[in-house]
Amino acid sequence: MLNYFREIYYGIVTVAISMWMTLCHLFTPAVTLQYPTVKWNLPDRARARLFNKIEDCIGCGQCARVCPTDCIIIETEKRGKDEPEIFASDGTPIKLRTYVFDIDMTKCCYCALCTFPCPTYCLVMTKEYEYSVYDKKDHIYHFAVDEPRLVKAAPQHGAPKA
């Protein structure tokens, strides 16, 4: 009998405490966001999707060499002596033609190590994080726009040897 009334007592106290907690939070501002209508402002150094401003890329391959997951594939060839000189926007001469510059974001671990050695600062981490796709192949980004002039041997993966 005593247990019966003790259980009733605990039940009432528990409900009262719960209602009190609810009442306390009734007038506090909400912290949840109505995503995707509302989004967090990510910090400037947030790491999400990689981007290469390919017109500034000199094809040096330093990014590919440092990548711990080998997700950057670069193929280059020397520009011909008969071709006009071109420069990156910081004035660095571009002596290689980068005809393959692929990043497989499915392998990327977002360490950003590839961005630090880039001499022309063209490879950057962006804050873009909404890039879901239905096909994994769509996570391989092809940045190169040039075509090779020389006859290609078998494709080589990883950092360029040139």
Contact residues for ligand SF4 (CB under 6 A)? 50, 52, 57-63, 66-69, 71-72, 74, 103, 108-114, 117-120, 122-123
Q: What is the DSSP letter of 128?
A: -
The nearest distance, CB 75 to ligand SF4, in angstroms, is 11
The nearest distance, CB 123 to ligand SF4, in angstroms, is 4
The nearest distance, CB 149 to ligand SF4, in angstroms, is 19
| DSSP character string of 5-68 | HHHHHHHHHHHHHHHHHHHHHHTSPP----TTTS-----TT----EEE-GGG-----HHHHH-T
33 or 113: whose CB is closer to ligand SF4?
A: 113
6 or 127: whose CB is closer to ligand SF4?
A: 127
Token pair in block for residue 114: 């590839």
CA distances in angstroms from 44 to 18, 26, 100, 111, 113, listed in the order given: 40, 34, 29, 15, 17
Q: For residues 64 and 159, is the Cβ–Cβ distance under 8 A?
A: yes
111 or 162: whose CB is closer to ligand SF4?
A: 111
The nearest distance, CB 73 to ligand SF4, in angstroms, is 10
Task: Provide the CB-side half-sphere exposure for 94 (13 A, CA).
Answer: 22
The nearest distance, CB 24 to ligand SF4, in angstroms, is 44
Token pair in block for residue 14: 């528990």
82 or 130: whose CB is closer to ligand SF4?
A: 130
11 or 93: whose CB is closer to ligand SF4?
A: 93
